[in-house]
Amino acid sequence: MRIKILRIGHRPERDHRITTHVALVSRAFGADSISIWEKDEKIKKSLDKVSKSWGGNFRVFFETYKQAFKDFKGISVHLTMYGIPFEEKIKEIRDSVINDNKDLMIIVGAEKVPKDIYDISSYNISVTNQPHSEISALAIFLDRLYEGKEIKKEFKNPKLKIYPSEKGKNIINEKL
Amino acid sequence: MRIKILRIGHRPERDHRITTHVALVSRAFGADSISIWEKDEKIKKSLDKVSKSWGGNFRVFFETYKQAFKDFKGISVHLTMYGIPFEEKIKEIRDSVINDNKDLMIIVGAEKVPKDIYDISSYNISVTNQPHSEISALAIFLDRLYEGKEIKKEFKNPKLKIYPSEKGKNIINEKL
């Protein structure tokens, strides 16, 4: 089973920081890769740097959503405030992905989403029907999908590691 | 019990969109207000507009962190990747806030956080020790604090309301 995030609606100038946060959440909460529909090499560079420092093998790709859907065999979940509350579907999706080992593609839009996304996605799912952020929607969805377990995992082969502390910062370079 | 979010490190030019997402998450996930340490009237305007459309009484204030801490009697939680994993402390914090009815202030920083925040906060808490986003950290923390119940609540007196649908958008103006 692999989880990929498809970030649509990204405009490099305007959305650079938000999409970077989407990518960081994807990595930290257990996705394997993100595909962005427009080239933005700076995001790829900063995520590659994060993986080098903090471990794991998260990948950044660029592809159109049509290409992404065409190549994808699995379950696709479009996160939208207009969709069915995730509480109603999460068990069904978890059964397919975690238990039946199907691939999952989670589609995360910016302000405007092409209309056909609603039709071609297996599910249109909301994380509340209130306006908030694609960053928080993705984090909550992945956290619930994994039932809170994935965010405790250790990334493989990190250079830097944090040792949690009550006050201040305790960060160790494991390779020195 | 009231929950306020304290957004520090905000620079209006650079952080406008990220802080707007932080504010939207604060509202959607059950906080009562956000205090931003630098004036940014555009954020206040857009959050006021959101409350007018989608209901509730979420407030935006501007104050320095020194002022905010001085005036605050309750429990303060600084979210930082260097802190103690929230899983270890969330029950203790929930007991104080939800059961003992103490006020909660959650401090959310941008890149640079004044050093004394680590000392003056009651807790320094991490949502994973990996880099991701203050937006997702806040969402996960509030979701777990409320044990997933708060995001199902209805906001009072909305003008707009979404009726969840399998495909497409179903949005109703309740006041027409």
Query: Tens digits of per-residue pLDDT, B48-87?
Result: 999 999 999 999 999 999 999 999 999 999 999 999 999 9
Evaluate whether A31 touches A3 at the Cβ level (below 8 Å): yes
Contact B82 A28 (CB under 8 A): no
Task: Say whether pLDDT at B176 is over 80.
Answer: no
Give Cα separations from A134 to A85, B49, B99, B174 (angstroms): 15, 19, 31, 25
Residues above pLDDT 70, as percent of chain A: 100
pLDDT at A132 exceeding the cut of 80? yes
For B94-147, what is each residue's pLDDT tens digit? 999 999 999 999 999 987 899 999 999 999 999 999 999 999 999 999 999 999
Q: Is 90 exceeded by the pLDDT of residue A162?
A: yes
CA angle A174–A166–A146, rounded 5-degree value: 70
Give B79's strand partners.
Answer: B108, B125
Please tell me if residue A140 touches chain B, with a CB cutoff of 8 Å: yes
Q: What is the structure's pLDDT at B12?
A: 83
Residue of B nearest to A124 (CA): B166
Summarised one tens digit per residue, pLDDT across range A38-90 is 899 999 999 999 999 999 999 999 999 999 999 999 999 999 999 999 999 99
Partners of B111 on chain A (C-beta within 8 Å) are none
Instruction: Please tell me if residue A29 touches chain B, with a CB cutoff of 8 Å.
Output: yes
Chain A contact set for B167 (CB, 8 A): 118-119, 124
Q: Which among B34, B79, B82, B86 is the top mutation candidate for probing chain A, defined by the most A β-carbons within 10 Å of its own β-carbon?
A: B82
- A9 vs A137: CA distance, rounded Å: 16
Whole-structure pTM value = 0.97
DSSP H helical ranges for B58-130: 65-71, 86-94, 116-120
Write the CATH number of the domain with boundaries A3-173: 3.40.1280.10
- Which of B130, B143, B167 minimises the CB distance to A124? B167
Give the pLDDT band (50/70/90) at residue A24.
Answer: very high
Counting Cβ atoms within 10 Å, is residue A142 exposed (0-12), middle (13-18) or buried (19+)?
Answer: buried
